Amino acid sequence: MQRPVVVGRPVPSRILLIGQAPGDKEPILGRPFAWTAGKTLFRWLQSALDWDEETVRSRIYFAAVCRCFPGKGPRGGDRVPNEREIQECSSWLRREFELLRPELVLPVGRLAISQFLPFDSLADVVGKCWKLEFNGGTQDFIPLPHPSGASTWHRTEPGKTLLENSLRLIAGHPAIRSEASVEEQSNRLFSQKATRRL
């Protein structure tokens, strides 16, 4: 694992998005999903929620199975973290669940999904909402495929339809509506105070 540790903003959200691990660009740019896969992920969320990247980052807490770039694999591409590395980073994720008590969890990609759901094929888990117990709480989990450009799963059937199903479930989830409502209320209050000063 190569430092520095990459973390998202300190957003007090009830929505938790969990990636695999940072790529080689994220430590330089200082935020998760900062490169090609991130562009695809934010495009998906924009289409489902009508939230741009800035809005997503301000309303959803970003976590990861591993917090440091694991390095390149022997055949190129980013190396998947091994069991020891996953175990060494697991306390971070458990603590985030304790602090945030999320209502909605969005595991992105095989590694993140497999931390919560056993499965053989992405088609078994993507496109559905799962109510699961983790770390003392019960949350809704809506898995997403990894948005990597190297993966064709989300661009071909059944992946394409299952991704659309997941995005529909996310858009209709009460935690999403609640986050949007809180920000809208805050904006209205700010606007009212500004108007009174004028």
Q: What is the pLDDT of residues 31-56, one digit of tens each?
A: 999 999 999 999 999 999 999 999 99
Residue 145 belongs to some domain of the structure: yes
Residue 39 belongs to some domain of the structure: yes
Task: CATH number of the domain at 63, please.
Answer: 3.40.470.10
| Domain count along the chain | 1
Cis (ω within 30 of 0) for the bond into 4? yes
Residue 190 belongs to some domain of the structure: no
Residue 197 belongs to some domain of the structure: no
Residue 185 belongs to some domain of the structure: no
What integer pLDDT is reported at residue 153 of this predicted model?
A: 95
Contact assessment for residue 179 and residue 14, using Cβ atoms and an 8 Å cutoff: yes
In 3D, which of 126, 104, 117 has the Cα closest to residue 60?
Answer: 104
What integer pLDDT is reported at residue 192 of this predicted model?
A: 58
Residue 111 belongs to some domain of the structure: yes
The model's pTM = 0.89
* Residues of the chain predicted below pLDDT 70: 1-5, 182-198
What integer pLDDT is reported at residue 8 of this predicted model?
A: 82
Parent domain of 168: 15-173
Residue 194 belongs to some domain of the structure: no
